[in-house]
Structure 1
Amino acid sequence: MTEPGGPTLAAKLNTLFTSIRPDAERQYTNKEVAAAVGCTPVMIGYLRSGQRDNPSINLLRSLEGFFGVPCGYLYVDDDPGLARRVDDQLAVLDRMVANGVMGIAQRASLVSAEGLAAVTKMLDAVIELERAREERDG
């Protein structure tokens, strides 16, 4: 079901629950995901705990679709580096959430193009100030 020596289905699924969230404050529940993909919350729990590791291909594809990851992430495919690339992207997403960037991005989605241009200039100015301080303080 997974690459030899690679992350298990349970590990990949738990990574998705941790990284892909309905909002910054909480993770999806097994019940929410099960309802969206057409299975039971118990089955999601079994998959997450590793008690089951051979679901149907349709369920795997539904889970990938729900979490917005490429087809093949949850099972072995012709691209053995796929899981690694997706995991790298999820790690970036996790850092963004941890650093509050996602909240800023959500608010930025409500701003006009002109407002975003102004915010971008302000961020660039802050970055330059911080770089100069780091160089000065060594």
Structure 2
Amino acid sequence: MPNDPGLPDLAEQLNHLFTSVRTAQGQPRWNNETASLEIARTGLTMSSAYLSQLRNGKRLNPSARHLAALADLFGVPMEYFFDPGRRSVIDDDLQLLTALRDTGARRLALHAQGLSPASVENVLGIIDQLRRLENLPATPA
């Protein structure tokens, strides 16, 4: 199609993935250069300049192979780029994984294992009170 708009939200989606997928130390897992090198290990060429163009919206229509490589790189299904409903679920999962990398959050989750539903609700109530005391939103954004 000559007027194919490609994936108009691709830049936002990619930037979100680059921001959300982090190392155990909390640093972004990839940047354009490291992502390009990792993708090259699969035998596919994707320059850091091309990644930059995808991320700033100058290129909107990558090949299926490039999209598949990006999906693999970030550990998401290709549907992430096409299905807003599925993307929302995946984004929630990424947010949870990021939270679980926080040592304190992980310890809380592990300690809550095996508690009755009523006890879990009590713990959540205490956490909500602590968040209010520290002027934090009721749930993290």
Counterparts of 2:64 and 2:105, CA distance in 1 = 33
Number of residues of Structure 1 aligned to a counterpart in Structure 2: 114
Q: CA offsets per residue over residues 48-86 of structure 1, 9 Å max, x none?
A: 001111222111110011111112322x4xxxxx23322
Counterparts of 2:80 and 2:124, CA distance in 1 = 38
2:79 maps to a residue whose letter is G
Identity over aligned pairs, percent: 26
- Change in CA separation of 1:34 and 1:91 when aligned onto 2, cut-off 3 Å: same
TM-superposed CA distance for 1:14, in Å, is: 0.8
TM-superposed CA distance for 1:19, in Å, is: 1.5
Counterparts of 1:94 and 1:106, CA distance in 2 = 12
Determine the structure 1 residue equivalent to 2:37. Answer: 35
Determine the structure 1 residue equivalent to 2:21. Answer: 20
Unaligned ranges ≥5, structure 2:
1-5, 41-45, 130-141
Is this contact kept in 1: 2:11–2:55, CA < 8 A?
A: yes
Determine the structure 2 residue equivalent to 1:102. Answer: 101
Partner SS for 1:72: helix
TM-score of the two chains, using structure 1 as the length reference: 0.62
Report the aligned-residue RMSD: 3.4
TM superposition outliers: structure 1 runs of 4+ over 6 Å: 105-108
Counterparts of 2:55 and 2:94, CA distance in 1 = 21
Unaligned ranges ≥5, structure 1:
77-81, 109-115
Partner SS for 2:67: helix
Counterparts of 1:17 and 1:32, CA distance in 2 = 11
2:26 maps to a residue whose letter is E
Matched, 1:120 2:113: yes
Is this contact kept in 1: 2:10–2:57, CA < 8 A?
A: yes
Return 19-28 or 47-56, whichever deviates more: 19-28
Counterparts of 1:126 and 1:73, CA distance in 2 = 32
Determine the structure 1 residue equivalent to 2:133. Answer: none
- Change in CA separation of 1:31 and 1:94 when aligned onto 2, cut-off 3 Å: same
